[in-house]
Amino acid sequence: MSLYTIAKASEEVDLTPYTLRYYEKEGLLPNVTKDSAGRRKYHDDDLQRIGFIKCLKGTGMSLKQIKEYGDLYEQGKAKFKERNAMLEEHREKILQEIKTQKKHLKMVEAKIEMKI
């Protein structure tokens, strides 16, 4: 298992240290450990969680919803159905957005082809 400083972790996940601190403050990263001097130490599991946060955020899920999902995750298998339902609902929103973007893309491509 690897340990990462905040600088190394931010480099690994392509987010600023400020963003990582903000995510921690907002409860999105509840298990970040600190050494005796108070410096954050990120584990591989933390980086995986950050990657999933980025995925959800990048597909339009709000930080509030991501926090809600994370809270359910922390409660373990007993909350699997609720977590899964959140992801299924989010998937439907993503699929609808893809459909909408494909329509927009067709219009843009049609204009490009007109060469006017």
pLDDT tens digits for 4-55?
999 999 999 999 999 999 999 999 999 899 999 999 999 999 999 999 999 9
Residue 68 CB neighbours (<10 A): 16
φ/ψ of residue 31, rounded to 5:
-110, 20
Q: Residue 81: CA atoms inside 13 Å, Cβ hemisphere, count?
A: 1
pLDDT of residue 39: 93
Considering the segment(s) 3-114 as one domain, its CATH architecture is Orthogonal Bundle (1.10)
The four Cα atoms 69, 71, 72, 77 give a dihedral, to 10 degrees, of 130
Q: Domain coordinates of the chain in residue numbers? A: 3-114
φ/ψ of residue 50, rounded to 5:
-60, -40
In sequence order, what E strands does 1-116 have? 3-4, 33-34, 40-43
- What's the distance, CA 51 to chain centroid? 6
Residue 1 has pLDDT above 90, yes or no: no
